Chain A
Amino acid sequence: MSEVSAHAAHHAPPQGFIRKNVFSLDHKVIGKQYYGLGLLAVLIGMVLSWAMRIHLVWPNAAIPLLGKIVPTGAPGGVITPEYYLQLMTMHGTLMVFFVLTNVPFAGFGNYFLPIQIGAEDMAFPRFNMMSFWVTFVGFCVLVAAFFVGDGPALSGWTAYAPLSALPSAGPGQATGQTLWAVSIAIFCIGQLLGSLNFITTTLDLRAKGMTLMRMPICTWAWFITSCIGLLAFAVLLPACILLILDRLAGTSFFVPSNLVVSDQLITQHSGGSPLLWQHLFWFFGHPEVYIAILPAAGIVSHILITSYRRPLLSHKVVIYCMMAIGFLSYMVWGHHMFLSGMNPFSALVFSFPTLVITIPATILTLIWIGSLYGSNLQVNSASLFALGFVSMFVTGGISGFFLAQPSIDVYLHGTYFVVGHFHMVMGVAAIFGMFAGTYFWAPKMFGHMMNETLGKIHFWGTFVGTYCIFMPFHYLGLVGNVRRYSAFVDDYLAPLMPVHKFITFAALFTGAVQLIFLFNLIYSRFKGKPAPDNPWHATSLEWSVPSPPPWNNFGGRHPVVYHDPYQYGIEGSTGDYVMQDSPEQIQTVRDDKKLP
């Protein structure tokens, strides 16, 4: 069988609306489905955060319509303390699992990884379709918690046992918490299928000439992330299974003896270890931070190089740093548990690799910033968001130095300092990566250019807005403002209310700015200027195919790769760049150095 016919047999062209758009085997459609699901989840998560912020600063104010939608959680429109925690749980779970994991990794990764390595599709298209629909079912199960019994769980996105293991532990801890555990277990299965596909595709389906080091940095980031995800979700899944058994089958994995809940002695369970849940959860939970941030870092690197019109200072070092971060991410989970009651000596053991992991992260940052020097920066919405990512990553990362030290973390861990830290470094930074990716790749995905003016307004509004929200959190934490309280009625917290009001106004403003993005995305999708094949004069393979690409990506053609991924700043026949699949020989390289 010839090479071409072997590829063509991968799967047949889709026929009919359902096969093309719903149960599609096409990795591009699946990528867009993940993106759409992430967009829906982020909108719900953002509205929940608004409700929480409004309640925090006006605890007795009735939020219009809320009383009718949730009569038990918000009687008369006023959120109860328990419902505040339920909103917080859903906000965290939606954002971490269904936004930060879905969009930069599963969404963009699904769409662009096969094209960037010159493949026709993923290695297992049916598994790929299954991974999305399994994830979608997980999303539906989670959101269903809003509509059952006394609402969703209130134990936070970390679902600490025994609070999460006992249905009698509070409102939402019955059906709501069960739905949470089932949803996350389903989500894990979807992610495992996705990771399996990403790894196999990267190893086996690369085009001729596409060596591992010739893969673009974002392809590397998706590959490393899928390796992290494969091992991390394989641990969260057993944890969820054990939690579900504790809740439904009467086992005692996480519930200790002699526990009194709501004035009732728990007699059905005994001898379990609450700490065991924390270990299992955070063994997943910390790598999850990198599952969110590494794809964004890869996307941003890819965009920055195109915008700088030169490669980063070292392609290999960037990849090795991402590998080091992925590896170290499995050694630091205990730094989330300095206050958990584990052996204090282990705090030192976890503190050290936590500080070590800042080294590759710092090198990455220095390379992103250092490569800017002497570059020919093209300022557009994508590059602005990419630089914004670097800013958020640095700001959030610096506060990590403090939290990595057990003695300081003991004071800061229960405060808004931690909220500011992880929102900056994991949440906002990854979301900036998503925005950068959207502005950069939307022309390829939808075939239309996005509006640049609206994009720049969106950037500046979001950039200023997020700093206004999350920088004051650090101050609040330093002065002792505890987190997870639904209202600040203590005397020592009352003077901080103006800061909280400022944050709430900033959150409402930043949320409103996102409507500009939404409008731009939808309007451009239909009315935007038609996108050429390579609007950014970029070098990687996704820009060698039409916008949007045909169902089999390269139209039956099999690209051959001749060059490293980022041949910018050179004399090519097309300008200052040479595409990866261009057979032309490069005579000179950037900075007038001769090729060896």
Chain B
Amino acid sequence: MEALKTFSSPLFLEGWVAYNEKRWSLQSFPLDLHPPNTELPSLRTLLYLDQKGRIVLPPRVPYIPIDFHSTPSDRLPHISRQWLEMSDQLAATMQEHGAYNTLQLSPEATDVRPWYWHGFQSTVRYTFYLDFPIDESRIDPATRRHWRKAIREGYYCQPPKRMEHVLECLKETEERKGYSHHLSLQELQLIQEQVGETHYRILVCYAADGNPVSTTIFLTQQGTRALLLMLGTKTEHLSKGVTQLIQKVGFEDLQAMGATGVDLIGANLPGVSASKEVWGPTLLPYYTLESMNFRQLAKRFRDWGRFRALGKKLNADTDVSSHL
């Protein structure tokens, strides 16, 4: 595991892998693919296997990290052929194991054809990449006004005084957006213990009277792109600009720690996307992978049911003829 420290994503962090193995009873399966006798081209990744040997993407792990290096060349046919060769090996290994749930490849994997050719199905999802140093001119002026307002009103950010504060803030956002992180106090402590405070960064924004109002959690490692894992704000403080303040402080903190940028993870809900795009990030597609089996088929039918309900509502609400 020692060699993993040179990887390009914090998802390879030893402590993070150990936590996921322990928490979800999985076995990590690091893969380092390269031709015999040479270092390059290389494709490194880390999968998790369940007890039956199937590949699982554990909860709260956003992607399967992909770390691909071609031999030095600027000729596209060359790079593309090497990618197809290496990713074909990975896709073959993954086909052998099969996927238990829906897997997500990190956005670096832009070409997922080898997985198609090995019988996986795929859909597209989106995330935002923000590079450091942040280009101030790309930030929405309204966002700047928001965080200044929060500072004027005496809000301040620091590591949590007590872990309960983190959960309090996350809970209200979960209720508003209708999802759940399924995070308990014990679990939060376990992660921080395993991963370490330097890599699992928690910040809480406090009001002037010392009440926690907003929180954010990053996974970071020097020289890599940090990941924004969670963000939560109490409803009554939303309009005070605390969400913008805590993100700003968080980004500065990550930059000081040596992160090259941050992945804001997830731009797939309209509200979430609108709140993240104000930082001027780049929109990137990433791809999900599903094995074709009866479990996934059942999931499709379930989605169908959900969308039918949604579709009826939308058809009633939208009258497109007025725009013609």
Is B one of A's binding partners?
Answer: no
Chain A contacts to B: CB under 8 angstroms = none
